[in-house]
Structure 1
Amino acid sequence: MNSSLYSKQGLIRIMLARRLFGLARGDRLPIIAELTEEFDCSRGLVQNAIAMLEETGAIVLNKRGSLGTFLVSTDYSKLWRETAWESIVGCSPLPYTKRHEGLATGIYSLMDKMGIPFRFAYMQGAETRAQAIMSGKFHFATMSKVAAQIICDREPSLHILMSLPPLSYLGGYAMAYRDKAWKEKKVLKVGIDSNSPDHALMIRSRFGAKYEAKTGQKVEFVPLPYTRMIEAMHSGLIDITIYNKDGLELGFVQAGAYVSDISLTDSEKDGTCAVILVSNEDYGLAPLLKDVLIMEKLLKTQNEVMEGKRTPIY
């Protein structure tokens, strides 16, 4: 939100609307002193903002004296217009697997149920999605927990809002290669996607300097977008890479190539967990998403899509 575009009163009204969006009927509003400290403004500005939201019909309040002020009802469509969000835009990888389709459907359905204008944009590479959030282009991104942790360690303006259980993002990883005798090659060409921190970490931990010293084999890292790895392997551009099992089960690897399971460390297993990554600077967004994206409902929808019991919508 570009605060320079609004008057002080208008800005407080927007911040209050965002603050109240996550409250349920019967919840007590924060006291005026708490809101003035949070918004860094006078009591009068907060009181005026509350009155304006009541006048528009966005909220109905019940004032109970010393007990506080309670939310009687909310007209979410009217309150939404006061937030200045227009629509929420999330970014995710292209949903090419049932697991990703289920995750996208779960998020979309929960947003739709709350009447929140929402759409997905699709971008490959966790680094690219993180940069899009920091630039203000999108409001949140889905990615693996490992990728998000690496990015958050480097970018203090971002944080993980929600972390889902194992196997909510990927079904695991396997080695894909075009020649069973790949260990005998003098130079091993390994596909790596540096735009996907989790992929780069797994590749370098298995084929880095320690591997070269142990095997005597020279490793050549070939930078490629993740979605081009299998094509590059079949064309001979690379000899081997690590790929997610969901994609491999869809038949991405054709005849004449091979797949073998790999064991994952405990930290690598976090690469199968989906997370929601957000910016610390988008006021009110994190509480809203926490209230709307209920994990149990999201996972239920994902499972229904994966089991073929629900049509994907995103």
Structure 2
Amino acid sequence: MNMPYNLVTKNAHTVRELAKYFITVQENSRIVTVSEFESMIDTARGTIQNSLKVLSEANAITLVSRGHLGTFLIHKNLSLLLNFAGITFLVGVMPLPYSKLYEGLSTGLVQTMENQLNIPVNMAHMRGARQRIEMLLNERYDFAVVSKYAALKYQEQNHNVDIIVEFDKHSYLQNHVIMFADKNNSKIEDGMRVGIDYDSIDQSSLTLEATLGKTVELVPISYNQFTDKLQANEIDVAIWNGDELPNHPEKGNTQPLNLENDDNTIAVIIIKSTRVDLKDLILQIMDVDTVMDTQRKVIDGKLMPTY
């Protein structure tokens, strides 16, 4: 981490932690006391006071004491606070950009966030919500894009990620469909071989729901092999992202997958639950309407995708 000012080692950690704290505080809000800072950061009172002075003299924060009411944050410079906090760039991860929806979403996220910050925002691309969440928890990435359906499914058994931003319906995909190898089939029946990709929370969970109560053979297959396996008659049926159908020859039969809600079509941003500073930062800079508008422009061909 490159600190913007020359700081002695014992102050560097305190300044960084204070900067992270002030990222989460709204302007004109009361801040915690020095004694509370001592407990939060586990450092001496003098170090806290010196570190607050560093942030104030750098114009990263403006504090005003209001007597018995406490001290208030009147103004903050988010870019300077990010620098002091050691946050010099953000990296997110989302699905591979194989559809216009994903290209538009990636473009909207990068442009919106970079327009609000003086730091670069990069998007990595990785298949499988489960893998994206694993990398997020390992702090390889700062935030991840998954479907609301996948996020809620994951949260049913885990409490280490938070949904912090939710986008519009059909921001993630238009719909899921059921693809059959045999054009004469239109519903999943006993005895069928069903493709399932356990790395994809959406695909695997939807498959298990669709086959509930039926005696079928679940065949573990990577998502990008489904169409090949269907055409080779190695599986009888698979649940698939409907946005990809135009890119693949259709020899069998495709039916809509009827669901109770649209959660599988909604994109959300998730972060590791312990990253409180990052949560507040993203909430401050994220404009859902702008991201959605950018996504529509990419889909309509009015804007070149950047990702």
Partner of 2:95: 93
Query: In 1, distance between residues paired with 2:31 and 2:238?
Result: 53
**TM-score of the two chains, using structure 2 as the length reference:** 0.85
Query: In 1, distance between residues paired with 2:43 and 2:288?
Result: 35
Partner of 1:109: 111
Q: Does the 8 Å contact 1:174/1:243 carry over to 2? A: yes
Partner of 1:188: 192
Query: In 2, distance between residues paired with 1:145 and 1:220?
Result: 28
Deviation at 1:204, TM superposition (A): 1.5
User: Cα distance 1:185–1:260, how it changes in 2: closer, same or farther (>3 A)?
Assistant: closer
Is 158-167 or 138-147 further displaced after alignment?
158-167
Query: In 2, distance between residues paired with 1:20 and 1:95?
Result: 35
Unaligned runs of 5+ in 2: 2-7
Alignment: residue pair count:
296
- Note the 1:138-287 alignment, pairs <5 A: 138-182=141-185, 187-208=191-212, 210-212=213-215, 219-248=216-245, 251-266=246-261, 269-287=262-280
Helix, strand or coil: the match of 1:284? Answer: helix
**Structure 2 residue aligned with 1:49, among 46, 51, 65?**
51
CA distances 1:88-111 after superposition (whole Å, capped 9, x unpaired)? 111111111111112111110122
What is the one-letter code of the residue matched to 1:206?
A: A
CA distances 1:121-174 after superposition (whole Å, capped 9, x unpaired)? 111111111111111211111101111112223222222122223212110111
Deviation at 1:58, TM superposition (A): 4.9
Deviation at 1:40, TM superposition (A): 5.2
What is the one-letter code of the residue matched to 1:263?
A: N
Query: In 2, distance between residues paired with 1:256 and 1:274?
Result: 30
Q: Does the 8 Å contact 2:100/2:299 carry over to 1? A: yes
Unaligned runs of 5+ in 1: 213-218
Deviation at 1:7, TM superposition (A): 5.7
**TM-score of the two chains, using structure 1 as the length reference:** 0.83
- 1:122 equivalenced with 2:115 (yes/no): no
What is the one-letter code of the residue matched to 1:205?
A: E
Identity over aligned pairs, percent: 27
Partner of 1:133: 136
Query: In 1, distance between residues paired with 2:272 and 2:87?
Result: 15
Q: Does the 8 Å contact 2:56/2:63 carry over to 1? A: no
What is the one-letter code of the residue matched to 2:258?
A: S
User: Cα distance 1:19–1:296, how it changes in 2: closer, same or farther (>3 A)?
Assistant: farther
